[in-house]
Amino acid sequence: MAYQENSEITKSFRSGCLCTSLVAALVLALLVASCASPCLAQEMAQGPAPRLASDPHVDSHVAEAIRQASADHIRQTIEKLVSFQNRSTISAQDDASIKAGKGIGAAREWIKAEFERYSKDCGGCLEVKTDTFTEQPADRIPKPTEITNVYAVLRGTDPKQANRIVLVTGHYDSRNSDTFNGTDPAPGANDDGSGTAVSLECARVLSKAVLNKVKFPATIIFLTVAGEEQGLNGSKHFAQMAKQQGWKLEAVLNNDIVGGDRSPQQDASVVRVFSEGLPAAASESEIRRIRMLGGESDSISRELARYIADVGRSYDAGVKPLLIFRLDRFLRGGDHYSFNQQGFAAVRFTEFREDYNHQHQNVRSENGIEYGDLPKFVDFDYVAHVARLNAATLASLASAPAPPATVRMLTKNLENDTTLTWEPSAGATAYEVIWRSTNAADWEYVQTVSSGTRATLKVSKDNVIFGVRAVDTGGHRSLPVAPEPER
Ligand SMILES: [Zn+2]
């Protein structure tokens, strides 16, 4: 609680000032004589005392939408994906195999048809698309291989904000013990049937919300990629496309192994959210700036992770995000990294405790141990909870104004106050300055700025980390933006 240690505002309150910004102008005028003058000056400049940043915010439409996520529907999705036998990127995708319901081609066609079915149910609200390319031979790609990402677009309703995009993804390819085996069972119920099911379920419930007249000003994309197990090929291609086409992609939620494996040590009350610290895409000069600022824990991916923590406090998803301040688990990687490499904010959701007998294994029994990624090890209620947390995050971000641009912290003079400036955001009616101690993991305090795009706080920039976010009349909060120092 560094604020209490450092803040001049707190000191003034401690010294017994009775002023409050809520009193009427007349009362305020009468109090001027009795109130210590620095106190009044501060309050007039500052507005009300800061609130705790952990205040939840609930949009009843979003709460209603996420309740529609169904464990039973998710079970059907995962069982269907498993029925394709082997969804390795190098498995069959010829017409006969698709017709026989075997291989990755059949999985791809089914996912596409599923998105199209949701779209039909919401009066055509989703645009269903594919992103197909040929991957040339590489370590885990023995011959030129066609890879297809399948996605659905829920276009934003505000023409000024529809170019803002938030995205959820999972990988629909699977593998068994042998990366080059495209025929024997590779059920991939958890890895990553669960993540694919989360993306599909988010599409289903949020498109249903739109049918019920809920509006999302920004665009939401529901993506399923292939090639993850062969080298993140699908996500790499998609992220490069987003970068080349100049997408305003604000957030990527990658769900990989969110099945809540039913091992005795599992903790089904949490889902891990991994986020990188130093951005993979940062240049040498940017790294230098981060070092000077002490900004190692304020990458855009980390701000996204904190946003998810905020959503977790606001909505009853049935599972709480457990933020892990690290790119990924040891010896493993995932599709969020492809987006990080292109400079996008991207995090990974993964169950609390993985069972390595149930991933990347041939289906078999040995010495009484069952191996293989089978549906019976998946906790479908847990996947539904993770889907709710994802859907609430997507809906919150897509309902919120754009994050403020060009956020600056003035550092021209040696002073104990902090002045922040920024540019107006589309859809914003106010802004919030948030801050925390340099050694705190999450935001601690928030102060509303109800007019203008500049704020001076009696808090020393030397002692805390600041962020600025935009809010609208409904209380929706944008992602926070860390300020850059300006001299
Ligand atoms: Zn995976």
Check: CB of residue 324 under 8 Å from CB of residue 273: yes
Residues 32-46, mean pLDDT to the nearest whole number: 38
Question: Which residue has 């990988």 as its token pair?
Answer: 171
DSSP for residue 192: I
Q: How many A from CA of 288 to the centre of ligand 1?
A: 34
Q: How many A from CA of 117 to the centre of ligand 1?
A: 26
Residues 405-419, mean pLDDT to the nearest whole number: 94
Q: How many A from CA of 290 to the centre of ligand 1?
A: 31
How many angstroms separate the Cα of 487 from the Cα of each of 200, 225, 406, 412?
48, 44, 14, 4
- The pLDDT, as a whole number, for residue 38 is 40
Copy the structure tokens of residue 467.
């962020």
Residues 161-187, mean pLDDT to the nearest whole number: 98
Check: CB of residue 107 under 8 Å from CB of residue 193: no
Q: 247 by DSSP, 3-state: which? A: coil
Checking if the pLDDT of 407 tops 60, the result is yes
pLDDT band at 141 (very low <50, low <70, confident <90, very high): very high
- The pLDDT, as a whole number, for residue 459 is 95
Q: pLDDT over 70 for what percent of the chain?
A: 90
Q: How many A from CA of 254 to the centre of ligand 1?
A: 10
Q: How many A from CA of 332 to the centre of ligand 1?
A: 9
Checking if the pLDDT of 4 tops 50, the result is no
Residues 408-434, mean pLDDT to the nearest whole number: 95
Q: Which of 147, 55, 152, 161 is nearest to 107 (CA)?
A: 147
Cα Rg of the chain, angstroms: 24
Checking if the pLDDT of 5 tops 50, the result is no
pLDDT tens string 310-364:
999 999 999 999 999 999 999 999 999 999 999 999 999 999 999 999 999 999 9
- How many helices (H) does the chain have, and how many strands (E)? 15, 18
Q: How many A from CA of 124 to the centre of ligand 1?
A: 31
Distance CA 428, CA 219 (A): 17
Q: How many A from CA of 276 to the centre of ligand 1?
A: 18
Copy the structure tokens of residue 220.
């939401």
Q: How many A from CA of 232 to the centre of ligand 1?
A: 10
The sign one gets for the Cα dihedral 91, 93, 96, 102 is: positive
- The pLDDT, as a whole number, for residue 17 is 34
Checking if the pLDDT of 417 tops 90, the result is yes
Q: How many A from CA of 194 to the centre of ligand 1?
A: 9
Checking if the pLDDT of 58 tops 60, the result is yes
Q: How many A from CA of 281 to the centre of ligand 1?
A: 23
What is the edge-to-edge ordering of all strands in the sheet holding 145-154?
Answer: 126-135, 145-154, 219-225, 164-171, 248-255, 346-351, 270-274, 320-324
pLDDT band at 52 (very low <50, low <70, confident <90, very high): confident
Q: How many A from CA of 227 to the centre of ligand 1?
A: 10
Checking if the pLDDT of 379 tops 60, the result is yes
Q: How many A from CA of 228 to the centre of ligand 1?
A: 7
Checking if the pLDDT of 21 tops 80, the result is no
Q: How many A from CA of 381 to the centre of ligand 1?
A: 20
Check: CB of residue 219 under 8 Å from CB of residue 155: yes
**pLDDT higher for 379 or 12?**
379
Checking if the pLDDT of 45 tops 60, the result is no
Angle among Cα 254, 191, 127 to the nearest 5 degrees reads 50
Check: CB of residue 89 under 8 Å from CB of residue 233: yes
pLDDT band at 24 (very low <50, low <70, confident <90, very high): very low
Q: How many CA atoms lie within 13 A of 86 on its CB side?
A: 22
Q: How many A from CA of 258 to the centre of ligand 1?
A: 10
Distance CA 300, CA 206 (A): 25
Q: Which of 289, 298, 276 is nearest to 481 (CA)?
A: 298
Q: How many A from CA of 330 to the centre of ligand 1?
A: 14
Q: How many A from CA of 174 to the centre of ligand 1?
A: 8
Q: How many A from CA of 368 to the centre of ligand 1?
A: 26
Checking if the pLDDT of 177 tops 90, the result is yes
- The pLDDT, as a whole number, for residue 47 is 53
Checking if the pLDDT of 120 tops 80, the result is yes
pLDDT band at 220 (very low <50, low <70, confident <90, very high): very high
Q: How many A from CA of 345 to the centre of ligand 1?
A: 19
Q: How many A from CA of 346 to the centre of ligand 1?
A: 15
Check: CB of residue 162 under 8 Å from CB of residue 219: yes
Checking if the pLDDT of 247 tops 60, the result is yes
Q: How many A from CA of 193 to the centre of ligand 1?
A: 9
Q: Which of 109, 133, 226, 129 is nearest to 175 (CA)?
A: 226
Copy the structure tokens of residue 270.
């949490």
Residues 280-300, mean pLDDT to the nearest whole number: 96
Q: CB atoms < 10 A from the CB of 438, how many?
A: 12
Q: How many A from CA of 256 to the centre of ligand 1?
A: 5
Q: How many A from CA of 303 to the centre of ligand 1?
A: 24
- The pLDDT, as a whole number, for residue 23 is 37
Q: How many A from CA of 104 to the centre of ligand 1?
A: 15
Tell me the longest C-alpha to C-alpha distance in the chain. 88
Residues 244-257, mean pLDDT to the nearest whole number: 98
Ranges 148-157, 160-169, 215-224, 411-420: which has the least confidence: 411-420
Angle among Cα 60, 63, 66 to the nearest 5 degrees reads 150
Check: CB of residue 469 under 8 Å from CB of residue 298: no
- The pLDDT, as a whole number, for residue 28 is 37
Mean of pLDDT over the chain: 91
Residues 192-200, mean pLDDT to the nearest whole number: 98
Q: How many A from CA of 156 to the centre of ligand 1?
A: 30
- The pLDDT, as a whole number, for residue 40 is 33
Q: How many A from CA of 86 to the centre of ligand 1?
A: 14
Q: How many A from CA of 242 to the centre of ligand 1?
A: 22
Pairing between β-strand 219-225 and β-strand 145-154 as defined by DSSP bridges: antiparallel
Check: CB of residue 40 under 8 Å from CB of residue 380: no
Q: How many A from CA of 80 to the centre of ligand 1?
A: 18
In 150-297, which ranges are continuous DSSP H helix? 195-211, 228-231, 233-244, 284-293
Distance CA 170, CA 196 (A): 4
| Contact residues for 5 (Cβ-Cβ < 8 A; gap 6+) | 463
Q: How many A from CA of 99 to the centre of ligand 1?
A: 26
Residues 24-50, mean pLDDT to the nearest whole number: 42
- The pLDDT, as a whole number, for residue 54 is 84
